[in-house]
Amino acid sequence: MSATPPATFGTLRRALQASPGRRTRLHTLRGELVPLAALADLPRLLLARVLGRTPDGPWFCTPAVDFLTRVVQPHWRVLECGSGRSTLWYARHGDSVLALEDAPAWHAEVGRLLAGQVNASLELLPAREFPARMAAEPAESYDLVVVDGGDHEPEGERLPAVTGRVACVLAGVRLVRPGGVLVLDNSDRPEYRLVDQPLDGWHSTRLRGFPNAPMTPTETTFYWKPPSSVMR
């Protein structure tokens, strides 16, 4: 049996390399390897990209989308930081959705998607104003708060974590009803781990896998708010 050509090892090594902060292309930014089920889903995701198919729902990793589909109830009220086809998905699977968006062009596109969807509201405002807008909502008035946006300045620069998604998570804590859910996408990013202490005592479910794009592993975390009797 002939030895494997050295070039093959080089090709394999390059295929497994990823961006700084990842051990390999198969690890999240938290340093965890994706599960085998996520690897098995790669051919379907790659085929969808080749065919130009766009997901109809939230742009999470596949395990998180599957989990969300089982969790969301028809009577749920949803608040979403960051909008998209996911906004229409929440409107169709829940009772109502309020989505906050900071990009004017994308706001217009999502508005077209939501045309005629009477239980969906879409508001345009700078991302750094998302937390203040959330503070205007009544306490414990949502069953699901999703933080999947609100992390860039109008010029495209990323906001500091404490004024971006982390601030949205902190604002969302007050809005989630007891027993409800707060979702943070890309929760494996180091800067988002600032939410760990404020959410101490909430049950969490972390799911890892590949989103539709880019083809690098990511993580979505579901945080379950304890019953009022537990929170002092």
Residue 193: alpha-carbon gap to chain centroid:
14
Which tens digits make up the pLDDT trace of 93-103? 999 999 999 99
Q: Does the structure show a pLDDT above 60 at 191?
A: yes
Average pLDDT over residues 101-126: 95
Dig out the tokens for 162 from the structure: 């404490």
- The pTM score is 0.86
Q: Which pLDDT belongs to residue 231?
A: 43
Cα distances (angstroms) measured from residue 50 to each of 53, 76, 213: 8, 35, 12
CB 141 within 8 A of CB 77: yes
**In this predicted structure, what is the pLDDT of residue 19?**
66
Give the pLDDT confidence of 144-178 residue by residue, as tens digits.
999 998 787 777 788 887 889 999 999 999 999 99
20 pLDDT band, cuts 50/70/90, is confident
What integer pLDDT is reported at residue 230 of this predicted model? 47
Task: For 156-198, give the DSSP string.
Answer: SPBPPGGGTHHHHHHHHHHHEEEEEEEEEETTTSGGGGGGTTT
